[in-house]
Chain A
């Protein structure tokens, strides 16, 4: 440890399960085609709820990734995490054995953890009493068990953690992993975010805050970032996991390199538990710090995968923050919110959206913001409405902001030797 050479961090594997696809390829094709993954909720009765729509994971076979017996003891957010990790590890071709186990870590974030298990087992507690609670309740509920189960499966014995920073959790995790590799604590990290909070409790809770869209009759049009007629976010399930690696380590084993992570910024609003402040200076500082740490000029950034939740406040304030950071260059940037198609995966968003930003860099395509029919007042950037846009991008940002005033931003760069 402690080589004097500045370590660089690259992405060598990716996996995702989300409302528009159960692999990276499926997801990328759907996003470029402007396909919505939002529909009526099928997993529970929505009759009493104001919101009856969400982005559920569809056509996903958990038994491809988890044994039947294991499945019973895991909450869905952990199953999604294991599936994403499986795809990412295969994609990276990274083998963990006695020689490197202690140098591979696992940091996977989740905003809420096993919400559906809490709901189910609380009903058991109320109806049948404490003796009928499953012994797997607690290990299914704890948010850090996504990282825990992944580390157990692959024998990854390096640093482990689980940021629980609400809707920024996935980005917090990737940022932490980036620093762990850069600072020499690990050579590779399995990292990202996952969520499975589409449940009666989750929907009712966010409904109580009036945070969710209630456009139940037009599910595919419900998530409308930056649009005048947006009425809140649409929840989604799933997430994304990436394999981060020290560049020299990746080169030594001849790994395929997708992109480089070169900056991370994290700030607090210190303002309100749920609302961003006007101008969202915390978000702006987070972007500025991420850029400074990357050593790149703001003008090198061609694309921002926005937080873009479609809540009334976020979209206007995020736009203001982008303008503050990029000045005139903000007019030349492409800024899109893929939440218009996937919905908002909460703690899973940062994992999925980092993958989207990497694909945009690799493929030279910016996925669109669908449903943006009439930009709201104050929303006057190029949000790539409706249709994907071919564009050579040198660097991209992934923005995620969470309740509690968390702002987390990644800077990703096209890989060059």
Chain B
């Protein structure tokens, strides 16, 4: 499973949204109905799944699904 696919799978599970809603530019808060606590929980699930740690400062910059994918790729040393 690619990082993109895995990220979307986690979002679908955590935020109870459909796969179709999970377009790359979708904003967690504006488009996917998450609040700040949902976001913390979502990031915790990402940390667990990808074996990374995301600081609160970095968390502030993750607004969209694409932001999350880019960030995880960078952390894993896979950035383009």
Residues of A within 8 A of B (CB): 67-69, 73, 131-132, 134-136, 139
Contact = CB atoms under 8 A, between A and B. Distances in A.
B16 A67 contact: yes
B41 A134 contact: yes
A69 B37 contact: no
B40 interface: yes
Nearest to B40: A135
Nearest to B47: A131
B44 interface: yes
Contacts of B53: 131
Nearest to A136: B37
A267 B40 CA distance: 45
A131 B56 CA distance: 11
B16 A136 contact: no
Given A131-B53, A135-B40, A136-B37, 18 more contacts: A67-B16, A68-B16, A69-B14, A69-B15, A69-B16, A69-B38, A73-B37, A73-B41, A131-B44, A132-B44, A132-B48, A134-B41, A134-B44, A135-B37, A135-B41, A135-B44, A136-B41, A139-B37
A74 to B, nearest CB: 12
Interface in B32-62: 37-38, 40-41, 44, 48, 53
B48 to A, nearest CB: 8
A67 B15 CA distance: 11
Contacts of A69: 14-16, 38
A178 B21 CA distance: 47
A125 to B, nearest CB: 14
Top 5 A-B pairs ranked by shortest CB distance?
A69-B16, A135-B40, A135-B37, A68-B16, A135-B41
Contacts of B37: 73, 135-136, 139
B80 to A, nearest CB: 29
A10 B15 CA distance: 41
Nearest to B43: A135
Contacts of B15: 69
A135 B42 CA distance: 10
A323 B31 CA distance: 64
Nearest to B15: A69
Nearest to A134: B41
Contacts of B48: 132
12 contacts: A67-B16, A69-B14, A69-B15, A73-B41, A131-B44, A132-B44, A132-B48, A134-B44, A135-B37, A135-B44, A136-B41, A139-B37
A69 B14 CA distance: 7
A67 to B, nearest CB: 7
A134 B38 CA distance: 10
A69 B37 CA distance: 12
A329 B18 CA distance: 65
Nearest to A133: B44
Nearest to A139: B37
A135 B15 CA distance: 14
A68 B17 CA distance: 11
Contacts of B16: 67-69
Contacts of B40: 135
Contacts of B44: 131-132, 134-135
Contacts of A135: 37, 40-41, 44
Interface string B48-80: 100001000000000000000000000000000
Of the listed residues A69, A73, A131, the one surrounded by the most CB atoms of chain B closer than 10 A to its CB is A69
A39 B75 CA distance: 51
B27 to A, nearest CB: 17
A134 B53 CA distance: 15
B35 to A, nearest CB: 10
A135 B47 CA distance: 14
